[in-house]
Chains A and B, each alone.
Chain A
Amino acid sequence: MELLNTHGGKPAASPKQTSNNMRSMIKNLAAKLAMPQLPKSAMFWTGIGMLLFFILVAAFGPLFIHGDPNAFSNDSLAPPSVKHLLGTTLTGQDVFSQLVIGAKLTLLSGFAAGVIATTLSVIMGLVSGYLGGWADDVLSLITNIFLVIPGAPLAIVLSSYVPNTSVWPIVFIVGLTNWAWGARVLRSQTLTMRDRDFIQASKLGGENNFRIIFFDIMPNLIAIVASSFIFTTIYAILTEISLSFLGLGNILAVSWGNMLYWAQNSGTLLSAWWWFLPPGLCVALLGSSLAFINFGLDTIVNPKLMMVPSKNRGKKAAE
Chain B
Amino acid sequence: MRYFIRRIFFYVIALWTAVTLNFIIPRLAPGDPVQTLVGRSQGRIDPRAIAALELQFGINTKIPEWQQYFSYLGDLLHGKLGLSFEYYPTPVSTVIVSHVFWTMGLIGVASIMSFILGTLLGVVSAWRQGSIFDRIVPPALTFLSSIPYFYLALFFLYFLGFKFGWFPIIGAYSFTADTSQFSLSLLFDVLNHAILPALTIVLVSLAGWMVGMRNAMLNTLSEDYVLMAEAKGLSNWRVMTMYAARNAILPNITGFALSLGFVVGGSIIMESVFSYPGIGFLLFQAVQNSDYPLIQGIFLVIALSVLAANFLADIMYLILDPRVRY
B303 engages A150 (CB within 8 Å): yes
How distant is A137 from chain B, measured CB to nearest CB, in Å?
8
Query: Which residues B265-304 have CB closer than 8 A to chain A?
Result: 265-266, 268-269, 272, 280, 283-284, 287-288, 295, 298-299, 302-303
B146 engages A283 (CB within 8 Å): yes
B162 engages A283 (CB within 8 Å): no
Given known A-B contacts A148-B306, A161-B28, A302 and B219 have beta carbons under 8 A apart:
yes
Q: Which residue of B lies closest to A9 (CB)?
A: B219
**Residues of chain A lying within 8 A (CB to CB) of residue B131:** 309
Given known A-B contacts A269-B154, A295-B138, A8 and B299 have beta carbons under 8 A apart:
no
Interface contacts beyond A157-B299, A160-B29, A284-B143: sample of 20 additional A-B pairs, CB < 8 Å, sorted by A: A1-B259, A6-B251, A8-B218, A145-B14, A148-B307, A149-B303, A157-B283, A160-B288, A161-B29, A242-B148, A284-B148, A287-B146, A288-B139, A291-B142, A291-B145, A305-B214, A307-B135, A309-B131, A315-B222, A315-B227
* Candidates A149, A156, A241; contact of B268 at CB < 8 Å: A156
A158 engages B25 (CB within 8 Å): yes
How distant is A143 from chain B, measured CB to nearest CB, in Å?
11
A132 sits at the interface (CB 8 A): no
Count of residues in B whose CB is under 8 Å from the partner chain: 71
B111 sits at the interface (CB 8 A): no
**Residues of chain B lying within 8 A (CB to CB) of residue A158:** 25, 28
CB-CB nearest 3 A-B residue pairs: A287-B146, A309-B130, A2-B212
Q: Which residue of A lies closest to B306 (CB)?
A: A148
Interchain Cβ contacts under 8 Å between A and B, 28 examples: A7-B215, A7-B251, A8-B216, A43-B139, A148-B306, A150-B302, A154-B299, A157-B283, A234-B146, A238-B146, A242-B149, A246-B269, A246-B272, A260-B150, A283-B147, A284-B147, A287-B146, A288-B142, A288-B143, A295-B139, A304-B218, A304-B219, A307-B134, A307-B138, A309-B131, A313-B129, A313-B221, A314-B230
A66 sits at the interface (CB 8 A): no
Q: Which residue of A lies closest to B146 (CB)?
A: A287
B265 engages A153 (CB within 8 Å): yes
B30 sits at the interface (CB 8 A): yes
**Residues of chain A lying within 8 A (CB to CB) of residue B145:** 287, 291
Given known A-B contacts A245-B150, A269-B158, A150 and B215 have beta carbons under 8 A apart:
no
Query: Which residues A9-34 have CB closer than 8 A to chain B?
Result: none
Q: What mask results when residues 7 to 20 of chain B are scored 1 for a CB within 8 Å of chain A, else 0?
A: 00010011001100
* Candidates B134, B219, B227; contact of A7 at CB < 8 Å: B219
**Residues of chain B lying within 8 A (CB to CB) of residue A310:** 129-130
Docked Cα-Cα span, A270 to B230, in Å, equals 56
**Residues of chain A lying within 8 A (CB to CB) of residue B299:** 150, 153-154, 157
**Residues of chain B lying within 8 A (CB to CB) of residue A43:** 139
**Residues of chain B lying within 8 A (CB to CB) of residue A152:** 262, 265-266, 268
A190 sits at the interface (CB 8 A): no
Q: Majority SS of interface residues in chain B?
A: helix
Count of residues in A whose CB is under 8 Å from the partner chain: 59
**Residues of chain B lying within 8 A (CB to CB) of residue A144:** 10, 14
Q: What mask results when residues 59 to 94 of chain A are scored 1 for a CB within 8 Å of chain B, else 0?
A: 000000000000000000000000000000000000
B148 engages A241 (CB within 8 Å): yes
Q: What mask results when residues 197 to 214 of chain B are scored 1 for a CB within 8 Å of chain A, else 0?
A: 000000000011101101
Docked Cα-Cα span, A270 to B160, in Å, equals 12
Residues of A within 8 A of B (CB): 1-3, 5-8, 43, 137, 141, 144-145, 148-150, 152-154, 156-158, 160-161, 234, 238, 241-242, 245-246, 260, 264, 269-270, 276, 280, 283-288, 290-292, 295, 298, 302, 304-310, 313-317
Q: Which residue of B lies closest to A316 (CB)?
A: B222
Docked Cα-Cα span, A317 to B220, in Å, equals 10
B148 engages A238 (CB within 8 Å): yes
Q: What mask results when residues 214 to 257 of chain B are scored 1 for a CB within 8 Å of chain A, else 0?
A: 11101101100011001000000000000000000001100100
Given known A-B contacts A8-B219, A153-B298, A291-B142, A308 and B10 have beta carbons under 8 A apart:
no
Docked Cα-Cα span, A60 to B214, in Å, equals 39
Q: Which residue of A lies closest to B264 (CB)?
A: A150
B168 sits at the interface (CB 8 A): no
Docked Cα-Cα span, A304 to B261, in Å, equals 31
Docked Cα-Cα span, A238 to B205, in Å, equals 13
**Residues of chain B lying within 8 A (CB to CB) of residue A302:** 215, 218-219
